[in-house]
A and B are shown apart, each in its own frame.
Chain A
Amino acid sequence: MKRRDPLLVVDGLRVTFDTPRGPVAAVRDVSFVLGREKLGIVGESGSGKSQTGRALLGLLARNGRAAARRLTFDGVDLLRAGEAERRALRGRRIAMILQDPKFSLNPVMTVGEQIVEAFRVHANVSRREARLRALAMLEAVHIREPGHVFDAWPHELSGGMGQRVMIAIMMVPEPDLLIADEPTSALDVTVRLQVLALLDDMLARRGAALIFISHDLGLVGSFCDRVLVMYAGRVVETLRADELQSARHPYTRGLLACQPRVDGDGSDLPTLNRDPAWLR
C-alpha cells in the first residue's frame, strides 16, 4: 500500500439501534478519512463515539445496524464484505483495545497462553516459537520480568500491566489500524502516560494508524494528530490537535471551558448550554 493512500474512508456512517420504542440513531452521518495518523474521537457519553468505533469493526450489539454511503478499509468495501472477510480483517488488520483489561483478558488463561494463542492464530508458528515471540512481545511493551508475567494470571496484574498485555496481544498480528476505546481511563494518571508512550512507540514502529476514542479532550488533544468532536451522533468539528484551543464550534469551546484547571482561580466554571440547533 502506498503511504499516501487513505487507510480508511468513512462516508455518511449511520448506526441505528432497534429498541422497543422504535429505532434510535446513535451515529448520524459521520464522515472522515484516516491516514497513517493518530485520530482522536472525542465526545461525552451518548455522543456515538464508541458506536462509531464498533461499527468499523462490525461489532455492534445485535439490535444495531450500520449503514454508510462508503466504508472502505485499505480498498476493502466493509459494507459488502461478508462475515468471513470481516473476521479476517478483525484482529489481523484492525485491532481494538477496550477500557478495562480486567474484562478484555481471559480470566482463566495465563497471560502467556493468551499471547501465544494470538501468535498461533495469526502467525502460524510452532508453540516453541510462539512462546519465544510472546516473551519478546512482553519485553517490547516494557514489562521488566517477562518470564514472571508470562506465567501470571490476569487477576494478578495491575491495571497498567494489564493494559500493556492487551497492547502486546493486539500488536501481535501487526495491525494497520488500532481502535482504542478509552484505553487509559481506568488507569492512574502516571501509569496512563506510560501506557500512551508505549502505544505511541508501537504505532510509530509499525507505521500503524490509531483511532483513539475518549471523553478526555485534553488528553486526546495532547496525544493525537487530529480530533473529531462528536455531539449527539454527529461530528460537529474536525480539528488539528494543536489547534484545539482555537476551536470554533460552541460545543467544543464549551467543553474546553468547563474543565477545571490546575492553575485556575477557583471561581465558578462556565457550564455548557446545549443549543438545540447543534442537533440540526
Chain B
Amino acid sequence: MSRASAIEVAGLDVVFGRGRRAFRAVRDASFSVTAGGSFGLVGESGSGKTTVLRALAGLLPPAAGIRGEMRLGGDPLRPARSRALRRRLQMVFQDPYGSLHPRHTVDRILGEPARIHGLDSIDHRIVDALADVGLDASFRFRFPHQLSGGQRQRIAIARALIIEPAIVLLDEPTSALDVSVQAEILNLLQRLRREHALTFVLVSHDLAVVSHMCEALAVMRAGEIIEMVGVEALRAHALQHEYSRELLQAAQGYRSTPAGMAPAEQ
C-alpha cells in the first residue's frame, strides 16, 4: 500500500444479521484517500455510504460481520483499537441536534474528549477550539439548546478537532442546515482542512456538496461502489455509470413538462 495514503480500504464487506436474515450492507468496497485529501462517498439511502464511514470510525455494532482490510496510515483498523489510534480519527455527525449532550455545557462537551485522551491545558484547548470554529469564549458555558443549528455543528466540529486528529469523517455534516448556514460550515471545514492538514472522508447525498468539498469521490448503490472518479469528471458532468448520471441529473432540479396552467392576473 502506498505511503501517501491516509486511509486504505480494500475489499470491505459489512454484513448485518446472520443466516437467512443476513444483509450485506457493504460489498467489496475498496478505495484510498491520500493524506490531506478529501474523499466523497455519494449515494442514496441504503447505499451503504454511512456504513462504510461507521466501519472506519469503529462505530458498527459488535455483531456486525466485517471482512476486508482497513488501514489508517498503514496501521490496521480493527474493531478493537488503541486509544492512540482512536485519537487519529474523529467523526462529525449529521444532526447537530442529536449529537451533542443536551445537559452538558459546551465547556464539558469539548473538555471530555480532551480529558479522555489525557491532554494537558484543557482550558486553553477549549478556547482555541472555539476560536478555530469561529465562536468566541462566551460560548463555553452555554447549553446546546441555547445555540442555533449552525453553532451546534460548529461545536460538533470543535469537539472532533480538539484532540488533533489527522482524519475527520463527516457524515452529511450540513444536510440538516439552511443553505446559508451550510455555506458557512463548508467554508469553515475547508479552512480547517488547510490549516490543520486534515484528511476528510465526506458522506453526502448531495453531489454539489461533494463537488465543492472533495478531490475524488465514489458513487455507491446497494452496498457497492459503482464508480470512482476525480472531481473534474463530476464537474464536467462526465460520469460514466448510468446511475451516477441519473443522480447528476436529479441534482440539476426538475425538468417540467408544460402543464398549461396560467398564473392569475394580479
Asked if A270 CB lies within 8 Å of chain B CBs, one says yes
In contact, A268 and B264 (Cβ under 8 angstroms): no
CB contact between A189 and one of B234, B247, B255 (< 8 Å): that residue = B247
In contact, B208 and A262 (Cβ under 8 angstroms): yes
Distance of A158 Cα from B46 Cα, bound (Å): 11
In contact, A264 and B179 (Cβ under 8 angstroms): no
In whole Å, how far is B18's beta carbon from the nearest beta carbon of chain A?
23
How many A residues have CB within 8 A of the partner chain? Answer: 52
CB contact between B254 and one of A5, A203, A223 (< 8 Å): that residue = A223
Residues in A neighbouring B236, C-beta threshold 8 A: 263
In whole Å, how far is B14's beta carbon from the nearest beta carbon of chain A?
20
User: What are 29 A-to-B residue pairs whose CB atoms are below 8 Å?
Assistant: A35-B263, A35-B264, A35-B265, A36-B262, A36-B264, A44-B180, A189-B251, A190-B247, A193-B250, A200-B256, A209-B261, A217-B179, A218-B253, A222-B253, A223-B253, A223-B256, A225-B261, A254-B180, A258-B179, A259-B183, A260-B208, A262-B237, A262-B252, A263-B236, A263-B237, A269-B186, A269-B212, A270-B183, A272-B183
Residues in B neighbouring A266, C-beta threshold 8 A: 211-213, 231
13 new A-B contacts at CB < 8 Å, known A193-B250, A223-B256, A264-B212: A3-B262, A35-B263, A190-B246, A215-B178, A222-B255, A225-B261, A225-B263, A262-B207, A262-B211, A262-B248, A262-B251, A266-B231, A272-B180
Which 10 A-B residue pairs are closest in the complex by CB-CB distance?
A35-B264, A222-B253, A260-B212, A258-B183, A188-B44, A204-B259, A272-B180, A189-B250, A269-B183, A44-B178
In whole Å, how far is A164's beta carbon from the nearest beta carbon of chain B?
16
Residues in B neighbouring A271, C-beta threshold 8 A: 180, 183-184, 187
In contact, B264 and A44 (Cβ under 8 angstroms): no
Residues of chain A having any CB pair with chain B under 8 Å: 3-7, 33-38, 44-45, 159, 188-193, 196-197, 200, 203-204, 207, 209, 215, 217-219, 221-223, 225-226, 254-255, 258-266, 268-272
In contact, B264 and A6 (Cβ under 8 angstroms): yes
Asked if B266 CB lies within 8 Å of chain A CBs, one says yes
Interface string of B130-171 (1 = CB under 8 A from A): 000000000000000000010000000000000000000000
Which interface class (under 10, 10 to 19, 20 to 34, 35 or more) fits B? Answer: 35 or more
Asked if B45 CB lies within 8 Å of chain A CBs, one says yes
Residues in B neighbouring A6, C-beta threshold 8 A: 264-265
Interface string of B62-94 (1 = CB under 8 A from A): 000000000000000000000000000000000
Distance of A36 Cα from B259 Cα, bound (Å): 11
Please name the residue on chain A nearest to B265 by beta carbon.
A4
Given the interface contacts A34-B264, A207-B261, does A219 sit within 8 Å of B190 by beta carbon?
no
In contact, A260 and B209 (Cβ under 8 angstroms): yes
Asked if B61 CB lies within 8 Å of chain A CBs, one says no
In whole Å, how far is A241's beta carbon from the nearest beta carbon of chain B?
9
Residues in B neighbouring A264, C-beta threshold 8 A: 208, 211-212, 235
From A36, A226, A269, A271, name the one whose CB has the most chain B CB atoms within 10 angstroms: A269
